[in-house]
């Protein structure tokens, strides 16, 4: 079992799972209202046993502290800053970064800032966007008449169940711990993050991908309800790996949980090639 470690950051104490060892570091970054335990299928994967896996709880999520300054912490830049502190504190030498959904945006921001070297970036359920309403509408399936749980501050029980079901359920079943972690998430994190994106605060992710020199990979679920698959074909990505834009059959928004055997082989291959 991986160890749970705690690190002091500018946004409070952050909890993380760390498999330890001397293998190449593989940093796993979870999505909105999720937690580090979402990556249990990766910590248990024999294909990834040779790597040092590290999965933090983002500020306001899981066992990490809620942020005292939400406006600074709960943004793509804030999450990237936390990742930079984690990389420095653990003395990780250019980790390979896998980011899921919100975690993918944090990974792209991390790469774009260039303050902590990374060996490669894989994203999942994360359309790299220019922070404009036009681009967001091109990249995401957004129903203007539906309640946007991604940005909703206060969840009801039904909200939490719905969000957990659509983001990470496996065969229609929601893991009880992951559901509890949806309920636990600081609602200000959802509200602040979404507001900052609409306000145009993040870096231009399309430009980050276009200028990226380290290996880059996209592995989405073929049935992801949140994203428009055709949008990814509009990206300029010179460092995109040879497999191209992968869409895993039988998976939705969380293929690393829903089709872990196929996903783990891809992640291991990508990480070994970085």
Question: For position 143, what pLDDT does the model report?
Answer: 62
Is the Cα torsion angle 171, 128, 228, 265 positive or negative in sign? negative
Beta-strand pair 12-18/3-9: antiparallel
Whose CA is closest to 249, among 236, 241, 258, 238? 258
- In sequence order, the β-bridge partners of residue 247 are 220
- C-alpha triplet 49, 34, 252: angle, nearest 5°: 80
Q: Which pLDDT value is given to residue 1?
A: 66
CB atoms within 10 A of CB 65: 19
* Whole-angstrom distance, CA of residue 114 vs CA of residue 118: 8
Instruction: Give the tokens for residue 81.
Output: 């800053």
Whole-structure pTM value: 0.97
Are residues 59 and 66 in contact, defined by beta-carbon separation less than 8 angstroms? yes
Round to whole Å and give the CA distance between 91 and 54: 12
d(CA 184, CA 57): 12
For residue 199, the model assigns a pLDDT of: 95
pLDDT tens sequence across 193-252: 999 999 999 999 999 999 999 999 999 999 999 999 999 999 999 999 999 999 999 999
Which residue in this structure is represented by tokens 């940093």? Answer: 27
pLDDT at residue 142 in the model: 77
d(Cα 32, Cα 223) in Å, to the nearest integer? Answer: 19
Regions in the chain scoring below 70 on pLDDT: 1, 143-147
Cross-strand partners of 3: 18
pLDDT at residue 147 in the model: 67
Asked if 78 contacts 11 with a C-beta cutoff of 8 angstroms, the reply is yes
Q: Determine the straight-line distance between the first and last CA of the chain, rounded to whole angstroms.
A: 26
- Residue ranges and CATH numbers for the domains of the chain are 3-273 (3.40.50.1820)
Q: What SS3 class is residue 232?
A: helix
Q: What pLDDT, on the 0 to 100 scale, is given for residue 245?
A: 98
Q: Which two tokens stand for residue 249?
A: 């059959």
* Predicted pLDDT of residue 145: 53
Helix (H) or strand (E) holding 81: helix 76-89
Alpha carbon of 157 to those of 166, 188, 237: distances in Å? 14, 17, 40
């Amino acid at each position: 079992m991986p160890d749970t470690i705690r690190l002091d950051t500018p946004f409070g104490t952050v909890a993380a799972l760390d498999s330890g060892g001397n293998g190449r570091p593989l940093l796993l970054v979870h999505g909105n209202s999720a937690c580090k335990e979402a990556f249990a299928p990766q910590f248990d994967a024999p294909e990834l046993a040779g790597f040092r896996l590290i999965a933090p709880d983002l500020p306001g999520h899981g066992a990490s502290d809620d942020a005292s300054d939400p406006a600074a912490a709960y943004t793509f830049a804030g999450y990237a800053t936390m990742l930079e502190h984690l990389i420095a504190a653990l003395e990780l030498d250019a980790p390979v970064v896998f980011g899921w959904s919100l975690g993918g945006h944090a990974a792209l921001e991390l790469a774009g800032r260039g303050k902590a070297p990374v060996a490669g970036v894989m994203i999942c359920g994360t359309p790299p966007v220019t922070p404009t309403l036009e681009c967001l509408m091109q990249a995401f399936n957004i129903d203007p008449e539906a309640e946007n749980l991604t940005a909703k501050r206060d969840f009801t029980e039904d909200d939490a169940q719905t969000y957990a079901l659509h983001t990470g359920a496996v065969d229609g079943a929601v893991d009880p711990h992951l559901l509890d972690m949806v309920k636990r998430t600081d609602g200000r994190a959802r509200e602040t993050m979404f507001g900052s994106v609409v306000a145009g605060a993040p870096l231009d992710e399309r430009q980050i991908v276009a200028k990226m020199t380290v290996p880059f990979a996209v592995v989405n679920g073929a049935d992801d309800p949140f994203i428009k698959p055709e949008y990814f074909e509009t990206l300029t990505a010179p460092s995109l790996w040879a497999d191209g834009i992968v869409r895993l059959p039988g998976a939705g928004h969380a293929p690393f949980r829903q089709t872990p055997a196929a996903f783990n082989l891809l992640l291991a291959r990508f990480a070994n090639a970085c």
